[in-house]
Amino acid sequence: MTSTTIKCATKTTELKQILALQNLNYVKNLTEEEKNTNGFVTVKHTLSVLEQMNSKTPQIIATNNTNVVGYALVMLPETTSLIPVLAPMFKILNSLTYNNIPVKNYNYYVMGQICISKTYRGLGLFRKLYQKHKEVYKNTYNFCITEVSTNNQRSMLAHQKIGFTTIHTFTDQTDIWNILLWDWK
């Protein structure tokens, strides 16, 4: 296996490959065993949505040659309307505080989804994708927030190893979610 490159997505072909990888790991396309063993993603994007998100803040990808083998999406609070299923999370974020300051008063972004191709798991790409997030965004944003299904134990453990901490848990029509925050300071 040749080496991978971690970078910002700049091409439509890369965004299309994100969508293909996302579809392979979408919760409704996996067996219970696959979900429990490998984790899953719960939101499907469209090319239009990814293009709009990428125009505001570039998405972070892992590539092997020209093939996207992993991604970690960036979503700004002002893009909430692009993915209605995430509206409950953004509404909750507006009601939370961190270090006694309302979260909405910080300059933050949401890591919208992370996924790594099955053949590239266990090679440290999860950590490398997040390291690139920090490298690219630490001078612009105070921190990164994400939400992870309580049923996705693989993802919860991986996020905790990076340094994310749970700041809130809530239930919506689809699942029970942990809101995780990664403070770079």
What tens digit of pLDDT does each residue of 17-28 get? 999 999 988 878
**CATH H superfamily, domain 5-183:** Gcn5-related N-acetyltransferase (GNAT) (3.40.630.30)
- Separation of CA 93 from chain center: 16
Q: What is the pLDDT of residue 2?
A: 61
Type of residue found at 185: K
Token reading at 106: 């910080």
Per-chain mean pLDDT for the chain:
91
User: Is the backbone of residue 100 left (phi > 0), alpha (psi -120 to 50) or beta?
Assistant: left
- Two structure tokens written together for 25: 């790991």
Domain-by-domain residue ranges, the chain?
5-183
Q: Please choose, from the candidates 24, 28, 74, 21, the residue with its C-alpha nearest in 3D space to the C-alpha of residue 49.
A: 74
Please write the tens of the pLDDT for every residue from 61-94. Answer: 999 999 999 999 999 988 888 988 888 888 899 9
pLDDT at 127 over 80: yes
Closest CA to 69 of 128, 137, 131: 128
Whether the per-residue pLDDT at 110 is higher than 60: the answer is: yes
Whether this prediction's pTM lies above 0.85 is answered by: yes
Alpha-carbon 91 to chain mean position: 18
Tell me the backbone φ, ψ of residue 60, rounded to 5 degrees: -100, 130
